[in-house]
Amino acid sequence: MKDSDWMLTAGERGNGSTRLDSRHPDGAAWTRGNDVTPLVHGAVYFAELLRAVRAQHAGDLLLFTDWRGDPDQRLHGAGTEIGTVLGEAAARGVIVKGLVWRSHLDTLQFSESENRHLGEQLEEAGAECLLDMRVRPGGSHHQKLVVLRHPGRPGLDVAYIGGIDLCHSRNDDASHHGDPQTLPFAAAYGPRPPWHDVQLAIRGPAVGDLEAGFRERWEDPSPLSRSPMVRLRALVHREDTEADALPPQLPDPPPCGSHSVQVLRTYPNRLLRGYPFAPDGERSIARSYLKALRRARSLIYLEDQYLWSPNVVGFFARALHENPGLRLIAVIPTVPEQDGRLTRPMNLVGRVTALERLRRAGGSRVAVYGLENASGTPVYVHAKVCVIDDVWASVGSDNINLRSWTHDSELNCVVLDERVDRRKPHDPAGLGDRVRRFARDLRLELSQEHLDAGKPDARFTPEELCDPEQAFASFTASAEALDAWYASGRHTPRPPGRLRAYRPPDMSRLTRSLALPPYRLLVDPDGRPVGLRRHNTY
């Protein structure tokens, strides 16, 4: 197997204006020799991030991007609020630079004031945090990235990317009791919504690629917003609207592991003046999925916040239709995060339509689940993970919908492991690629949690879950057992497992017809140029 069988070449990225690929001496569109560790749950990520930031010295560099940042969000107890931790780093002489989405108005349940307050607190401490609104109308900067560099100590260099924002509700662990610091949420999730999420810790040369991607945004000479009202508010609040120069980028950290990593993004086709590093946008996340799906033969394992958009899901449906041995497991939220009379149908109509398309293509080979904790409270699935045939693994900020593939800014990493996994089956896809350690281990770690496989009364062993067919059957059996326990009145001990079969709500034809226009316009817009939309290409 060659990396190029699964990863995009520089030409396939479709964006010749970025320096991500041209910066590599060998011209490859990825780096080799990385060490990548999945950090499952916000509590695990926040604890590691806290240790890493507190270990930084004067002259070190800390770069971050985020969708939302709450300055009072605790990483690990009192005194570890994110604004405090980053401010203390700046006070020690660490160079701290941040790009946070400016956000829409708080009256629309967004994050305008919180993101502004984070910026104000960091600026007072000597850091620089800009509120970035260089997006399409109705769009957002959805990337979640932290890069830590250490001049003279490259062994400490690390980058964190994934689905976890530096904000409320994210600090949960495997018990899924929820974060004490919460955001407004659908009532079904209770006062402390349980939260499931995944981040990657990346060490090695790929840290240089992720830093270069940050620098492309930081060095964009375009104004942070085109809106006269936003500029006026920035003037009133005395916001910093000009990015100071960054120190020259250090050489990439040396190789330290067995993982090839490709950095992938979404940038929209921004109207009027585009991004200088992506003048027609970049859709390398979508292109990467399309390339990997063409090789899918055995099992697609998905964890996704949305799984919307019949357009996007259609590519998964095609893979299922063309490969009769292919199965798909999807773990998604049971209930949308917004449950208002108007917002709920808008949030559901795309999913209902997309799942119908998947099931028409794959029938019983498609299984979709929600999660709940031991108390029976739904767990909100915010993770963005895809593992195909235990070879290719993608983790990032990108969801399976048109908005993430075309309209908002997103950041993903694909990981291919040089190490072959010795557990059977060795090549379930039958293409000669051989199962890889990182992809299989990631799928097993997530699966074992959902199945309670670590408990004494667990029904399934890790060895059984290695086999894609057995894994699919194990998910089915676990969910059926828990559903039956509820149906029988819960008079016996609760069976192990956290999976519930997802049953989409009934939506009348009238409800669908009324919900589809706002869904397409507001919830899941298309950020592609007109020509690509016309031919449904990316």
Average pLDDT over residues 59-82: 96
Q: What mean pLDDT comes out for the span 99-116? A: 64
Q: Which of 210, 237, 52 lies closest to 130 in space, CA to CA?
A: 237
Instruction: Identify residue 233 by its one-letter amino acid code.
Output: R
Q: Using alpha carbons, select from 112, 103, 207 the residue that is nearest to residue 161.
A: 207
Tokens of 76: 């690990």
Predicted model pTM: 0.96
Pick the closest to residue 289 from 422, 384, 147, 186 (CA basis). 384
In this structure, which amino acid lies at residue 197? D
CA distance linking residue 307 with residue 519, whole number of Å: 14
- Across 110-138, b (16+ Cβ under 10 Å) vs e yields bbbebbbbbbbbbbebebbbbbbbbbbee
- Round to whole Å and give the CA distance between 223 and 345: 36
Q: Which helix (H) or strand (E) holds 36?
A: strand 31-40
Same fold, 21-261 and 294-523: yes
Q: For residues 83 and 74, what is the distance between their CA atoms, to the nearest angstrom?
A: 9
Tokens representing 5 are 């069988």
H-type alpha helices, 411-537 = 437-451, 462-466, 468-487, 509-518, 530-535
Q: What is the DSSP letter of 521?
A: I
Q: Specify the CATH number for 294-523; select among 2.90.10, 3.30.870, 3.30.70, 1.20.5.
A: 3.30.870
Residue 204 near residue 195 (C-beta atoms within 8 A): no
CB 297 within 8 A of CB 326: yes
534: amino acid identity, one letter: R
Question: How many other CB atoms sit within 10 Å of the CB of residue 448?
Answer: 17
Q: For residue range 303-331, what is the model confidence (pLDDT) as tens digits?
A: 999 998 989 999 999 999 999 999 999 99
How much is the pLDDT for 200? Answer: 99
Task: Determine the residue type at 144.
Answer: K
- Which residues lie closer than 8 Å to 435 by C-beta, 6 or more apart? 389, 390, 391, 420, 421, 423, 425, 426, 427, 428, 466
Q: Which residues contact 233 (CB under 8 A, 6 or more apart)?
A: none
Please report, rounded to a whole number, the percentage of residues in the chain having pLDDT higher than 70: 97
pLDDT of res. 166: 97
* 235 — pLDDT class (breaks 50, 70, 90): confident
Q: What is the mean pLDDT of residues 144-173?
A: 98
Percent of the chain's residues with pLDDT above 90: 84
pLDDT in tens, 335-381: 998 877 777 888 899 899 999 999 999 999 999 999 999 999 999 99
Mean pLDDT of all residues belonging to the chain: 94
Q: What is the largest CA-CA distance in the chain?
A: 65
Neighbour-count burial for 346-382, b at 16+ CB within 10 Å, e otherwise: bbbbbbbbbbebbbebbeebbbbbbbbbeeebbbbbb
Write the DSSP symbol of residue 102: -
What is the predicted pLDDT for the residue at 415? 98
Task: Give the number of other CB atoms < 10 A from CB of residue 430.
Answer: 11
Nearest of 99, 68, 96, 87 to residue 181 by alpha carbon:
68
Residue 113 and residue 106 in contact, taking contact as beta carbons nearer than 8 Å: yes
CA-to-CA separations, 363 to 273, 325, 353, in angstroms, rounded? 45, 12, 15
CATH architecture assignment, domain 21-261:
2-Layer Sandwich (3.30)
What pLDDT shows up at residue 113?
A: 65
Delimit the domains of the chain by residue range: 21-261, 294-523
Task: Please determine, for residue 521, whether its predicted confidence score (pLDDT) is greater than 50.
Answer: yes
Q: Residue written as tokens 């890493």?
A: 52
Contacts of 236 (CB under 8 A, 6+ apart): none
| pLDDT score of 108 | 46
Asked if 264 and 284 touch (Cβ cutoff 8 Å), the reply is yes
Tokens 């235990």 found at: 390
User: Can you say whether the dihedral through the CA atoms of 104, 105, 109, 115 is positive or negative?
Assistant: positive
Q: Which of 447, 419, 428, 430 is nearest to 390 (CA)?
A: 428
What is the predicted pLDDT for the residue at 115?
Answer: 66
pLDDT given at position 347: 84
Distance CA 146, CA 82 (A): 12
Range with the lowest mean pLDDT among 97-106, 129-138, 160-169, 305-314?
97-106
Q: What pLDDT is recorded for position 461?
A: 84
Report CA 75 to chain centroid distance, whole Å. Answer: 19
Tell me if the bond preceding 425 is cis, omega within 30° of 0: yes
CA dist 467 and 299 (Å) reads 10
Q: How many CA atoms lie within 13 A of 187 on its CB side?
A: 3
